[in-house]
Structure formats: C-alpha cells, structure tokens
A = this chain, B = another copy of it.
C-alpha cells in the first residue's frame, strides 16, 4: 500500500491508509491504546481497542516511545480530536525500528546535552522546519542566480598556501607537504572572474580555526558566496543583494508562512527596497550619540554597537536591514578596492539584519599594480599569494561580490538565538562529535 503523509490525511477520511513514522506518545487506557504518530509532515492520533485484536494489542504493549513504525488503518472523522479532527483506527502495526526504553534527552534538556544527541533533538517538528526553511532559502537563492546569468562553482577546500591570513587556518599534512583548509572561497571565486565566468556562486563549507565560543561563531560553517564581473562600484553589489534577498523572502513567505506562523510564532516581513546605507563613520557617530562608547583599539562597530545601530535604523527607517559602508583600509583585506577620492576608505560594506552581521562584500581591486602595492602595504608575503596576484596580470575585469553566512541568516529567519540550533551538526573548539 502506498504511504500517506500525515498532512494529507484530511482527504482520506473513510479510507484505509499506510502511515510511516515515530510513536511520539503512547497512552495506555483500560480499554484503549492511543498512539500519537509523528512523521515529518505532522502528528496524528492512532487508536486501538484492546479487545478487538489481541495480537495487535500485544505488539502495542511491547512498543516503546520513539520507535519507528509502519501502521495501516482506517481514517475516521472525529471533531473532538485536537490533532486535525480525525484519528486512525489501527488494523496493522509493524515495529520497523524499535527504540530503547530510555530516551537520553528530554524536552527541557540543556542545549549542550541536546547537541550530543542531535539526531534525537532534530526529531522535533520545529527543528525539521528549520532545515526545510533552509532548503527553501537555498533553492530561492539559486533560482535568482540562475535567472541572472550566474553559474555554480565548487572551489577546492584544500589550499597550498595560506590565503588572506595565517591566523585562523587549519593545517594538515598533504603527502608530505603542508595544506590549509580554505577559510573562504575568496581567491577562487575571483579566479572565476579572471577566467571570464562573468558571474558565479558557491554554497559550501569554510573553516576557521578560531577558539571562539560565542552564539554566532563556528569552526566550520556554510558560506554563501557570489562574485560578479563588470561592476562599477560596491553600490551595484548592494543593489544585487537587496533584490536577491527580497526574492528569497518572497519565496519563504509563499511556501512556508503558514508553518512558520504555527511552529515558530513568527510573521515574516518582506524588506522594502532600497535598504538604508550608512557609511561606517556616520554609523559610529550614531552609536556614540546613543551613549555607547566604542572600544578605541578596533575602528569597527562591536556587537553592542551593531545592536544600537539596528535600533536607530528601525526607529528612523522602519527597516530591519542596514548596509554599513566604506570601511577604512585598516580593517579590510588588501584586495578591497579603495575610493579614488578617499584612498583611506574601501568600496566595501557589511549587511546587518536586526543587528547581526550576515554579509561582507566589496568591489575588488582588479588592477595588478595597485593590488600588489596594497598587499605589500599590509605586510603580506607575496610569494604565497603570487598565484592569486597572477589572476590580475592577463586581463581581469572589474568585479565584486560578497560572502554571506547561511546559518546566521537562518537563525534570524526562524528566530533562534544561537547558531548551534540552526546548524545540522555544529562544530566548535569543543564540538567535534557526533
């Protein structure tokens, strides 16, 4: 018999169906068994009258919670049942994957403990919806890219030399040589511009050997990267990102708004274009005017500064997003292009959503001589990046792009406070298992 998903039972009243799922809860009453069955599409009540079939009763007696079961039964209308106003009278049950008696996590277990038993934690329907949301987000991203002439690349994660900085790199032995895990596809997506690929995207893992324990950092995460040729400024990249984000929001809204409302209690607001754009210098003034003293040693916003800026932007523009632009060269990598008329400022931006940085982007320096000079100025060892600098020696068009943190975006989208909750299997300094 073909499997029916729980969400489709409404159309099957009166029919016999086959259901596959987990025994979410089991209630043993004097004459009746109630099983709440869960699949990835929902919950339904199953019912069995003990005296009607002793063999079936014996199977259900042996059934532990969270066992994987296949059930056949007849769908009946029952307005008193809260779960969809129907129930299924069991005619056959098969315990395909029996569960051990004691489940190692409980509803109120601490996050750290739940992460150790991630496969059980993920069984919550809210958690499934997080990854379903991620799926819709990613497919919307790709659709928009394909509609706009992008092609997909898979750049190598194994690199022969440190790219931008050696500090945050994982190192490994590679047949007697040293290799490094890519901390971003930056150099390789720019290579695609030098190769004439025009516009490229990549969604893939990046690695950061940072001993960081915050709620928004991980040692491995999924980076969303694009690069596009023949742009004249970072403003064009921001224009593109706005359009792309609105497309994503519209798709999530049209496909998932009902489920998100019911499981996350969230209403999506599709952002309005254009997004506010504020130069960093001005952003810092705004933050300091609201009474927050920024730390003197790093000329960037700190997390509290980002939060205050978001508050200001919301109050002034009723917008959840803000581009912070024109970062000074000290806090941007050597390959960011500089303003012609203000050579200490880069043609760069960050995008914050509700005070959390989700994107870093820029127009890149594509002129070999300037790029070389900027690399030297930053004190980089040219030898290790000569292969990268070569990309610009045989005709590279002007280009720019951004890197976007999928997990951070997802975290804001579903309203969680910690990227561990929206990462399939979180990796941090103390998290390498399961």
Residues of A within 8 A of B (CB): 3, 20-23, 38-40, 64, 66-68, 70, 96-100, 103-104, 118-120, 122-123, 127-128, 131-132, 134-135, 138-139, 142, 146, 150-161, 170-175, 177, 179, 181, 188, 191-192, 194-198, 204-205, 207, 209, 211, 219-220, 222, 229-230, 366-367, 387-388, 390-398, 406, 424-425, 427, 429-430, 432-434
Contact = CB atoms under 8 A, between A and B. Distances in A.
Given A172-B172, A196-B39, A392 B153 contact: no
B395 A99 contact: yes
B170 A174 contact: yes
Given A142-B142, A395-B98, A158 B207 contact: yes
A105 to B, nearest CB: 10
Contacts of A222: 154
Contacts of A39: 196, 198
Contacts of A158: 207, 219-220, 427, 432
29 contacts: A20-B229, A20-B230, A39-B196, A39-B198, A40-B198, A64-B395, A66-B394, A68-B395, A68-B396, A97-B366, A97-B367, A97-B397, A99-B393, A100-B394, A104-B394, A118-B195, A119-B192, A128-B197, A131-B151, A139-B142, A142-B142, A154-B406, A155-B424, A172-B173, A175-B430, A188-B424, A204-B204, A387-B433, A387-B434
A23 B430 CA distance: 53
Contact of A97 (B23, B151, B392): B392
Contact of A194 (B119, B138, B159): B119
A156 B170 CA distance: 15
Given A97-B392, A131-B151, A139-B142, A397 B230 contact: no
From A68, A139, A398, A430, name the one whose CB has the most chain B CB atoms within 10 angstroms: A68
Contacts of A393: 99-100
A220 B160 CA distance: 13
A358 to B, nearest CB: 17
A399 to B, nearest CB: 9
Contacts of A207: 157-158
Contacts of A155: 424-425
Given A128-B151, A128-B196, 8 more contacts: A21-B196, A96-B230, A96-B398, A120-B394, A123-B195, A131-B151, A134-B151, A154-B222
A103 B394 CA distance: 7
A148 to B, nearest CB: 12
Contacts of A127: 195
A298 to B, nearest CB: 24
A277 to B, nearest CB: 23
A394 B103 CA distance: 7
A390 B205 CA distance: 26
Contact of A394 (B38, B40, B99, B430): B99
Nearest to A407: B154
Contacts of A22: 196, 395
Contacts of A198: 39-40
A118 B67 CA distance: 53
From A181, A196, A219, name the one whose CB has the most chain B CB atoms within 10 angstroms: A196
